[in-house]
A = this chain, B = another copy of it.
C-alpha cells in the first residue's frame, strides 16, 4: 500500500519517514557538508516537524549511524564490482584499493560520517563482517592473489594492513600539497594507484627468508 508518492499531498503520516530521513540526510551531507547536517534540517528537508525523527531514531547519532550503514553497504558493492571486473588476481587487489579510495573521494562527507560513526563505537559496523562486505572481498582477493588460505593469522593481518593503507590514502589524497604530483602522474587515479603500489601490501612478494 504505497502512498507519499505525490509530493503535493502532505498527509499527516508520511508513510516511509525512516528512509526519507536517511535520504534527506545524505542529500544535505553531499550538498552542504557535515556541518550543515542537523536533525532539524533533515526534518525540514523531509517536510516534517523537528520532533518527528525521534519516532524513528532515538538520537541524532542514531540517524548518522543509519546513514553510515548505507555508505558501508555501497562501499561493499563498489569493492565487489571492482574485484569482479579485474582480469587477474593481482589486478583485483589493485582495483579494490582504487575503488575504495574513489568511493571515499566521490562521497567525502559520507565517508567521513562512516568513519566518525565507526570511531565513536570503536568498531566497524557489523555489516563489515558479513558476506558481501568490502572486508570479505579484500580477504578473498588476497587468497586469490596467493595468500595461504589456511594461515588465518597472516590472512587477517594482511587484510587489516590493506584496509588501513586504503583508508589512509583515502583521507589524505585530497590534500592540496599533492596537486603537483597528481598533475605529473596524469590525474588523481594514477596518483592513487602509484601510492597504493608504494604502500606495498598490494604488490608484496613473499619474503625469501625470515624477515630481512
Contacts and interface: CB of A to CB of B under 8 A. Distances in A.
Interface of A: 90, 112, 115, 118-119, 122-124, 129, 153, 156-158, 160-161, 163-169, 171-172, 174-178, 181, 184, 194-195, 197-201, 203-204, 211-212
| Total copies of this chain within the assembly | 2
Contact of A119 (B112, B165, B199, B211): B112
Q: Is the interface of A mostly helix, strand, loop or mixed?
A: helix
B195 A204 contact: no
11 contacts: A118-B175, A123-B175, A123-B177, A157-B181, A160-B172, A161-B200, A164-B171, A165-B168, A198-B201, A199-B200, A200-B200
Contact of A168 (B122, B163, B175, B178): B163
A164 B169 contact: yes
Contact of A184 (B153, B168, B178, B184): B153
A168 B200 CA distance: 14
B160 A195 contact: yes
Contacts of A160: 172, 178, 181, 195, 198
